[in-house]
Amino acid sequence: MSTKGDRLWGGGYEEATHPLVQRMNASVSYDQRMAREDIVGSVAHATMLRDQGLIEPSDHVAILGGLAAILKEIEAGTFEWVEAREDVHMNIEAALRDRIGAPAGRLHTARSRNDQVALDERLWLRRRLLGLAARLVELIGALSEQAWDKRDWPMCGYTHLQRAQPVTLGHHLLAHVEGFERDLDRVLAVLDRMDVCPLGAGALAGTTLPVDRNKTAALLGFSRVARNSLDAVSDRDHLLDTLSAAATGMTHISRVGEELVLFASAEFGYVKLPDAFTTGSSLMPQKKNPDMAELIRGKSGRVTGNLVSLLVTLKGLPLAYNKDMQEDKEPLFDAVDTWEDCVVLLRDMLPAARWQKKTLADALDRGFLLATDLADVLVGHGVPFRESHERIAVLVNALVKEGTTFRRAGATRIAAELGVPREAVADALSVRKALRKRDVVGAPHPARVGREARAASRRAVKMAAEVVRRQAPCEAEVLLAAAG
């Protein structure tokens, strides 16, 4: 390996690398996060090389022992990362050479950094996405339990942020559960699609040596190998899939954040956020600001920007590997970190939030939320819906001009003006009865909400078990642990 011109490898160079080139070319400051995955991949590769007779068993033992020792240093924070060695791969390989000598030089047999980084990213993503999936399951479980507890708490449902029709708080919370369950489905779908081992593709055209790619894939816990060597080293769809899922997931989180900001304001007063998730004002002593709810709302834009950044980076690249692809890691790392942090914040903040049952109920008297129910009464007495709609609109307009509400106007007066029995009007103007009439699939009948909440809790338990199953260590990880 040549060091001519301060370069670690290659030949024919007569000039030293420009200092700025070295700094821009180096990625070790951030791709060192994949150190464990890089080492696990090397363990699998070395084991395959031994089994194929491409390295001696004694070299294999030395390589695994050296890698295990390096991993311990990395995890202890004592490993020295060197920028001149560019990236996580060369830092570990050079440290292995310093530690065990000549056998380290055999590790890179039939391997390129191109297929190596493609592997490391998949291994890193697999670990982090499974951790994120576990956090999503916890959030779904926490929300489902809250929905069960508040399955019969009436509250205003909104469209256009205007009071629309009555629902229950449990029903409202379950709407967010649906979104988070789809996020979980997307995470698991990304894991399934990226279950492909690129190792063995080499720089772009495979290798002339008799490697066993299926053996390497099995050691690393992949179900199949990449079918095309060009695609294997240039494919970053799994990163785009992850960033797309993250942008969608953060959009769901942002909507919850927005509602918490609104509902915690004095104008709504629906919820009081726990002190642990609010901050004070540097000037106004009375303030408790919903900063965490605002931050999770704001960070959604950042994660969406990461998706756009990588899409633009990849959109014009020819096959196969290009240095531009070094720019794939920082947006990926930032998006996954941000998404998981925000999921954890919500998981811990929402169960501690104090919903104000009386305030939620009192708001139902303002805004004529049962107008549609009154129109349905007319429909039940033979009036076409469009005519019913118009008659109720006229009634509401008159009551608004008077500054009164359905409740204050009373069932007797309203029944007389509409020409229907008083009992039917009184029944339609009861929020609790109105909720119980909404007894169709997906509607806010409290009993249905309760059943849906329990079903969501059961799904969360089932998915938690699936995530744990997927987190089982692969054979290469077991070999690494044994070598240490």
pLDDT at 14: 75
- Among 342, 344, 300, 337, residue whose Cα is nearest residue 33: 337
**Is residue 340 scored above 60 in pLDDT?**
yes
pLDDT at position 367 is 80
54 contacts: CB under 8 Å, gap ≥ 6:
106, 109, 110, 209, 210, 211
User: In this structure, which CATH number among 3.30.60, 2.60.40, 1.10.40, 1.10.10 belongs to the domain 371-428?
Assistant: 1.10.40
Question: Which amino acid is residue 164, in one-letter code?
Answer: A
Are 4-106 and 371-428 equal in CATH topology?
A: no
How far apart are alpha carbons 256 and 264 in whole angstroms?
12
* Predicted confidence (pLDDT) at residue 4 exceeds the cutoff of 70: no
Q: Is the pLDDT of residue 395 over 60?
A: yes
Query: What is the C-alpha separation between 279 and 407, in angstroms, rounded?
Result: 39
Rounded-to-integer distance, Cα 206 and Cα 187, Å: 30
**Dihedral (Cα; 457, 132, 228, 232), 10-degree rounding:** 180
* Bridge partners, residue 166, by sequence: 156
What is the number of alpha carbons within 13 Å of residue 430 lying toward its C-beta?
Answer: 11
Tens digits of residue pLDDT in 118-153: 999 999 999 999 999 999 999 999 999 999 999 999
CATH number for domain 113-151+171-211+221-356, candidates 3.40.640.10, 3.20.20.70, 1.20.200.10, 1.10.1040.50? 1.20.200.10
Question: Is the peptide bond between 147 and the residue preceding it cis, with omega within 30 degrees of 0?
Answer: no
pLDDT digits (tens, 9 = 90+) for 286-337: 778 999 999 999 999 999 999 999 999 999 999 999 999 999 999 999 999 9
| pLDDT recorded at residue 11 | 62
Q: Which residue, 127, 135, 121, is CA-closest to 249?
A: 135
> Could you tell me how far CA 92 lies from the centroid of its own chain?
30
pTM of the model: 0.92
287, with CB counted inside 10 A (0-12, 13-18, 19+), is exposed
**60 is annotated as an active-site residue:** no
User: Letter for the amino acid at 52?
Assistant: Q
Nearest-angstrom CA–CA distance, 436 and 450: 13
Phi-psi region of 152 (alpha: psi -120 to 50; beta: other; left: phi over 0): alpha
* Percent of the chain with pLDDT strictly greater than 90: 90
CATH of 4-106, one of 1.10.275.10, 3.90.550.10, 1.20.1250.20, 3.90.950.10: 1.10.275.10
Q: How sure is the predictor about 257, in pLDDT bands with cuts at 50, 70 and 90?
A: very high
Residue type, position 267, single letter: E
C-alpha dist (Å) from residue 342 to 298, 299, 303, 463: 11, 9, 11, 20
Q: Which residue type is seen at 139?
A: L
Inform me whether the pLDDT recorded for 481 exceeds 90: yes
**CB neighbours of residue 154 within 10 Å:** 23
Write the CB contacts of 406 (distance below 8 Å, at least 6 apart in sequence): 365, 368, 370, 374, 399, 414, 429
Q: pLDDT, tens digit, for every residue of 44-101?
A: 999 999 999 999 999 999 999 999 999 999 999 999 999 999 999 999 999 999 999 9
Q: Does residue 8 carry a pLDDT above 60?
A: no
Residue range 279-285: mean pLDDT, rounded: 78
Q: What is the pLDDT of residue 288?
A: 86
Task: Find, among 74, 78, 95, 76, the residue nearest to 31 by Cα.
Answer: 74
With tokens 């769901």, the residue in question is: 252
Residues 6+ apart with CB under 8 A from 124: 33, 34, 37
Mean pLDDT, rounded, of the chain: 94
In contact, 6 and 22? CB cutoff 8 Å = yes
321 conformational bin, left if phi > 0, alpha if psi -120 to 50, beta if neither: beta
User: What letter would DSSP give residue 289?
Assistant: B
- Catalytic residue, candidates 29, 58, 265, 281: 281
* Count of other CB atoms within 10 angstroms of residue 356: 18
What values do phi and psi take at 389, rounded to 5?
-55, -45
Instruction: Determine whether 254 is an active site residue.
Output: no
All structural domains of the chain with their residue ranges: 4-106, 113-151+171-211+221-356, 371-428
- Please state the three-class secondary structure of 295-321 as a single string: HHHHHHHHHHHHHHHHHHHHCCCCCCC
